[in-house]
Structure 1
Amino acid sequence: MKPQLTILAISLALAGCGGSGGSDTSASAAPTYTVSGTITAQNIDLQSQVCADINQNYMCDSGEPSSAANANGEFSITSTKKSILSVPLLAQVDTGIAANSTSGSASYYAYIAAPGLQKNAGNEINGISSLLAGYVADGLTVAEANSKLKAQLAKSGISISGDIQDDLSASELASLEQNIVSTIKVFKHSNRAFMLAQLSAKFDKSAADYVNGVLTNEEVVAFANFLEGELKAATALNDTGVIRYFSDIDDTQDVVEPQSSFPGQDAEYGFDKTELNTNTGNGFQFAKLDANGQVLADDAAQWSCVLDQRTGLIWESKTDDENSIQHKDRLLALELPGVVTPYDQDVDLATCKTKGDQICTTQDYVEHINSINLCGKSDWRLPTFHEFYNLLDFGETETNSDGKAYGLTYKYFPHQTAGIDYTSYIGSVWNQSIIYNQYSNTAVDGGFYYNEIGTLGGDRGYISSLEIYSGDVDSSDNYDSYQFPARLVSLQGK
């Protein structure tokens, strides 16, 4: 049994240590935490304001713990908030651009960043740390961000031993560091987390060499504008295409009039309704493009690509010619460089084996379409899950030979895949939707899960999680997984 203190004993104990009436209040004071480091970026004012980005919107807001760095770029931030150790650290950079074009009285600030490393001291903020922070903003761990950035640097012959955050000022990174800061300074959009994540993921895909030599302002601005376009494509939405209403009078056929007994239906809202009333469409704004990427008349009989004018994405047109590599039902094995290697048995069942060519995987197909500069473009790729889903037209009534309504607007996409008959939904094409939060105790080692999107008839828009095999699967113990066609996408202006 635990000993019990009497009221008298408790009173004496309190008196001995000052009690509740004593002058010592340190026991009740909130603990403080300190994070310190140095700004090492080139060509900026080292005496910049540094903050702990508590709300992680990648800008220093009023009320966030902050401190001005000294002439050597050294800073120290103290706060009662322990999170200052784990949130991004930002250095505020004056771009010299007026924030208010009418008054010109204030400057627009950019922010270079460093990921939160749980370090009290020794933190460093520059362009290279900003790349790591960009990857973390996109959901990666710091370790994963290091691996990604190392792989990008290896393409340029740069090898960093150990963690990159411990060697941020390496001489071989000097040009990249300066170019990254220059790019951040010309970003126009306020969605800084997205823009930084895109810069991290794609600086090595720029037409200008970000690693070897300092870029001109024109080269930096051109790539920043490209990333701005990526943001537009990621955030712009079409409507559903639904322009008819369900009716309880005749539930076998939808009607064009709003139904008072069923208010709030899809067709009552959005681009669908406004564009239908002005005879400009049903929620989409498409344009046909010729082989050089030039806009054609809307009634053109032949075209090579389709521009989605709302998102800025350009979509590949397919063909009904079975001898064409762009045939709508050409089957490919999935290959995503650096992510998914193709599975041998899926490659063996690809259309290339019967056609006698070498276009067997999605990456083979991407490289082929880029090599022919389809519609004047050389940045073709598989669409993301959201990009393709945003293309679905749930109001399309044109049907294929099996009586299944098409999932894409038939006027612009007349050749759509019929799909394969052993998946959950029909009409699927490959996208980049690899998912890691799906688990099954029957999963095959080396396999992963993928979100398939149905595109025909009643399957339009339905999603099914499929197990796809990669090259790490033992082909001696397993059959094939899946093969789908592909419809590639590019970005206007790139």
Structure 2
Amino acid sequence: MGNKTNAFLVAPSQRKTTGNEINVITTLVASQMSNGLTLNDAINSIKIQLNSIGLTATNNLLNEGNSNQYQILEQNILTLIASIDKSNANFLLSILSSNLSDYQSFILAPAPTESAIQALIIALNKATEGKDFNDTGLVEYYSDNGSSFNAPSDYLGQDADYGHDKNSGGFLFTKLDFNGRPLKDEAEQWSCVKDQRTGLVWETKSDDLASPQFKDKLFAYQVSGKFEPYQEDIDMLSCSDEICTTEDYVNYLNKNTVCGINNWRLPTFGEFYDIIDFGIKEKDFNGDVYGLSPDYFPRQSIISDLASGEVWTSTEFFTEYEATKIPHSRVILAALTRGIYRGTTYPVNIYSDKVEVDMGASYQLPIRLVSEMESVK
């Protein structure tokens, strides 16, 4: 705990029973993890940012947070935490920890004034403006008599009474052409979909079996320099186009600047889950209800190693079995998006190239990439 009223410091989840350091550095790392980064990626992000503002940071960062060089940083962040709305603390700290150089004048100031504190809080809150989330899509009410668009008097306070569901059906999408230009809702051909709430742009898929963008094309998981795929996962795929891994596909979309975008990436679990519409009733040819709006995402993945509708995400998942999982493997969080069980989540244990050979294949899944609209070229 810090020495400021209502201030706190935390440690990132590491599944450790002892030896957890708690200081300003672990708090910044934990804030990065709350934004979807893995532990190693969060450490690396904070390390790079600390070095950029003139503070020394090594690969042993989590054990160095009590160093004297971080005393001013810790004091100022404790002062900030004590002053912000605690209901929004995680979000604001996530923004701060992702942009330390932007707030360097405050976090390294010997004694920031009250006006400087309030100015930073205003700046952090402003950074969240325009960032929103979708709702569930549940716009109907339910009672013993079935479903209706009218609220029953005996079952009050249902999902349809709140948020975007009540005001606009839960979602607000715009179709984009191949160059990233907006199209009318009635357009019959489009290449991407912009989520007007989050600002994210999603690729559309293809029904063409020969296209790398085929909706049910499977990929082995890869993040270059961090996680290389297991050979048996590659062998399970027919990669006549040499686009076998998630990294291959990311490079393919970026090279072709689909919708004018050249920084396509895997979505985080939260980003993908946010576009699941739980109010959809339309069904596919298998009789399974869709998970994404078919008006904007008519071609959705069906085939899967798991159940139906999962795609790869970038979010690493820490489980209670972390200590006993296969060395050099990774657990990724996935969600079932079709049928009555849409929204069910799965921890997917995948093997890297460092896993012992002859373990058998792990998993291959379809993919749907995302990008920020600001990156449209």
State the TM-score, normalizing by the size of structure 1.
0.55
Distance (Å, rounded) in 1 between the aligned partners of 2:373 and 2:92: 22
Is 1:194 aligned to 2:94, yes or no?
Answer: yes
Offset at residue 481 of structure 1 (A) = 1.0
Contact kept in structure 2, 1:245 and 1:256, CA below 8 Å = yes
Q: What corresponds to 2:272 in structure 1?
A: 388
Contact kept in structure 2, 1:240 and 1:394, CA below 8 Å = yes
Gaps of 5+ in 1: 1-34, 36-50, 58-84, 89-114, 117-132, 169-188, 203-226, 276-281
> What do residues 326-371 of structure 1 show as CA deviations (whole Å, max 9, x unaligned)?
110010011123442211111112342xxx1211111111111111
Larger radius of gyration: 1
Offset at residue 312 of structure 1 (A) = 0.5
Q: What corresponds to 1:305 in structure 2?
A: 192
Offset at residue 135 of structure 1 (A) = 3.5
- With over 3 angstroms needed to count, the CA separation of the structure-2 counterparts of 1:374 and 1:449, relative to structure 1, is same
Is 1:265 aligned to 2:158, yes or no?
Answer: yes
Q: Decide which of 358, 365, 370 is 2:242's aligned counterpart.
A: 358
Is 1:319 aligned to 2:319, yes or no?
Answer: no
Distance (Å, rounded) in 2 between the aligned partners of 1:409 and 1:315: 13
Contact kept in structure 2, 1:436 and 1:449, CA below 8 Å = yes
Q: What corresponds to 1:135 in structure 2?
A: 29
> What do residues 34-80 of structure 1 show as CA deviations (whole Å, max 9, x unaligned)?
x9xxxxxxxxxxxxxxx9797259xxxxxxxxxxxxxxxxxxxxxxx
Contact kept in structure 1, 2:309 and 2:336, CA below 8 Å = yes
Offset at residue 87 of structure 1 (A) = 4.2
Q: What corresponds to 2:298 in structure 1?
A: 414
Secondary structure of 1:272's aligned partner: helix
Contact kept in structure 1, 2:38 and 2:316, CA below 8 Å = no
Contact kept in structure 2, 1:404 and 1:456, CA below 8 Å = yes
Q: What corresponds to 2:74 in structure 1?
A: none
Secondary structure of 1:246's aligned partner: strand
Q: Match of 1:465, as an amino acid?
A: P
Structure-to-structure mapping, 1:239-254, within 5 angstroms:
239-249=135-145, 251=146, 254=147
Question: Whose strand proportion is higher, 1 or 2?
Answer: 1
Higher relative contact order (CA 8 A, sep 6+): 2
Secondary structure of 1:366's aligned partner: helix
Is 1:430 aligned to 2:312, yes or no?
Answer: yes
Is 1:342 aligned to 2:229, yes or no?
Answer: yes
Identity of aligned residues (%): 37
Distance (Å, rounded) in 2 between the aligned partners of 1:416 and 1:142: 31
Offset at residue 393 of structure 1 (A) = 0.5
Offset at residue 143 of structure 1 (A) = 9.7
> What do residues 218-262 of structure 1 show as CA deviations (whole Å, max 9, x unaligned)?
xxxxxxxxx9999568x621111112222313x5xx332222232
Contact kept in structure 2, 1:286 and 1:308, CA below 8 Å = yes
Contact kept in structure 2, 1:384 and 1:433, CA below 8 Å = yes
Secondary structure of 1:481's aligned partner: coil
Offset at residue 198 of structure 1 (A) = 2.0
Offset at residue 492 of structure 1 (A) = 1.2
State the TM-score, normalizing by the size of structure 2.
0.71
Q: Decide which of 238, 261, 273 is 2:134's aligned counterpart.
A: 238
- With over 3 angstroms needed to count, the CA separation of the structure-2 counterparts of 1:447 and 1:457, relative to structure 1, is same
Distance (Å, rounded) in 2 between the aligned partners of 1:482 and 1:300: 36
- With over 3 angstroms needed to count, the CA separation of the structure-2 counterparts of 1:153 and 1:268, relative to structure 1, is closer
Distance (Å, rounded) in 2 between the aligned partners of 1:365 and 1:328: 13
Q: Match of 1:300, as an amino acid?
A: A
Secondary structure of 2:142's aligned partner: coil
- With over 3 angstroms needed to count, the CA separation of the structure-2 counterparts of 1:369 and 1:487, relative to structure 1, is same
Distance (Å, rounded) in 2 between the aligned partners of 1:463 and 1:369: 27
- With over 3 angstroms needed to count, the CA separation of the structure-2 counterparts of 1:199 and 1:342, relative to structure 1, is farther
Contact kept in structure 1, 2:219 and 2:365, CA below 8 Å = yes
Offset at residue 303 of structure 1 (A) = 0.5
Distance (Å, rounded) in 1 between the aligned partners of 2:250 and 2:265: 6
Q: Decide which of 287, 292, 301 is 2:179's aligned counterpart.
A: 292
Contact kept in structure 1, 2:266 and 2:314, CA below 8 Å = yes
Contact kept in structure 2, 1:134 and 1:199, CA below 8 Å = no
Offset at residue 200 of structure 1 (A) = 6.3
- With over 3 angstroms needed to count, the CA separation of the structure-2 counterparts of 1:295 and 1:457, relative to structure 1, is same
- With over 3 angstroms needed to count, the CA separation of the structure-2 counterparts of 1:400 and 1:273, relative to structure 1, is same
- With over 3 angstroms needed to count, the CA separation of the structure-2 counterparts of 1:372 and 1:152, relative to structure 1, is farther
Distance (Å, rounded) in 2 between the aligned partners of 1:471 and 1:201: 36
- With over 3 angstroms needed to count, the CA separation of the structure-2 counterparts of 1:200 and 1:322, relative to structure 1, is farther
Shifted more, 442-451 versus 466-475: the winner is 442-451
Gaps of 5+ in 2: 10-20, 70-87, 103-123
Distance (Å, rounded) in 2 between the aligned partners of 1:230 and 1:298: 30
Distance (Å, rounded) in 1 between the aligned partners of 2:280 and 2:31: 38
Q: Match of 1:55, as an amino acid?
A: A
- With over 3 angstroms needed to count, the CA separation of the structure-2 counterparts of 1:52 and 1:419, relative to structure 1, is same
Offset at residue 269 of structure 1 (A) = 2.3
Q: What corresponds to 1:460 in structure 2?
A: 342
Q: What corresponds to 2:282 in structure 1?
A: 398
Q: Match of 2:278, as an amino acid?
A: F
Q: What corresponds to 1:55 in structure 2?
A: 7
Distance (Å, rounded) in 2 between the aligned partners of 1:228 and 1:410: 35
Quote the RMSD (CA, aligned, Å).
Answer: 3.8
Contact kept in structure 1, 2:92 and 2:125, CA below 8 Å = no
